[in-house]
Amino acid sequence: MYYFNCNIVSFVYGSPEVKNKPSANLTEERLRSKGHTLKQSGSQTFCLLRIFPFIIKGVEEGDTFLELVFLLQDLVKIVFSFEVRPSDVDRLDVLITQHNSLFHELFVTPTQEVEPAGSAEEGADNPEASEIDNDMDDPGEPERAGAGRGNRTRVLKTKRLQKGINKLHHLCHYPKQFLEKGPMIRLWCAR
């Protein structure tokens, strides 16, 4: 997280984005806390989403979590467009389905334990691995354990995620709203 926060601070923002510069206050404790909030304003979160690919390092191409971010970026491009063609609305419908499906797969459906080759012996002597195993007893918070450290990766589900997230449900109605009311950006209440 330290390097991610450093990349947020060192990123060269254009003059229109200086006021929307995200705060470099992301910590694992904050992300694991109740609500999993980023503690950013809407403008800061929007800016962070747009610059995200430029500030991350060391993520392999084809990473499913990164793919989720890219799907969200594509959704945002269409939703914040001032002019939308019927083909864009069809594309939006497909992107929403893909995004919600991948989100559900990553954060709601429990994944199988995946151990890289040769990590079984390493995990026995690794204190982080036993800490990860202890976390499995507490299904309270979703997490991605052991990412980038050669440990197994797994995501835990929560009761909140099983019910569904209201904002993701609202996304499903956007294509119909586009057809009825035109571009959603014209209905936006933000300043």
SS3 for 144? strand
**Token pair belonging to 120:** 């079984």
Q: Are 92 and 114 in contact (CB under 8 A)?
A: no
pLDDT at 163: 59
pLDDT at 109: 65
**Token pair belonging to 151:** 């440990």
Cα(96)–Cα(101) distance, integer angstroms = 8
Q: Are 28 and 48 in contact (CB under 8 A)?
A: no
pLDDT at 164: 66
pLDDT at 115: 46
Cα(140)–Cα(187) distance, integer angstroms = 37
Which residues, 6+ apart, have CB-to-CB distance to 174 below 8 Å?
79, 92, 96, 184
Q: Are 129 and 151 in contact (CB under 8 A)?
A: yes
Beta bridge pairs of residue 155: 144
* Tens digit of pLDDT at every position of the chain (191 positions): 788 889 899 999 988 888 889 988 888 887 777 766 778 888 888 899 999 988 887 788 889 999 999 999 999 999 999 998 999 999 999 999 999 999 988 887 654 444 444 444 444 444 443 333 333 333 343 444 334 434 334 444 445 555 567 788 888 999 999 999 888 888 877 66
CB atoms near residue 141 (< 10 Å): 14
Q: Are 102 and 64 in contact (CB under 8 A)?
A: yes
- Tell me the torsion sign for CA atoms 8, 12, 13, 18: positive
pTM of full prediction above 0.85: no
Q: Are 152 and 115 in contact (CB under 8 A)?
A: yes
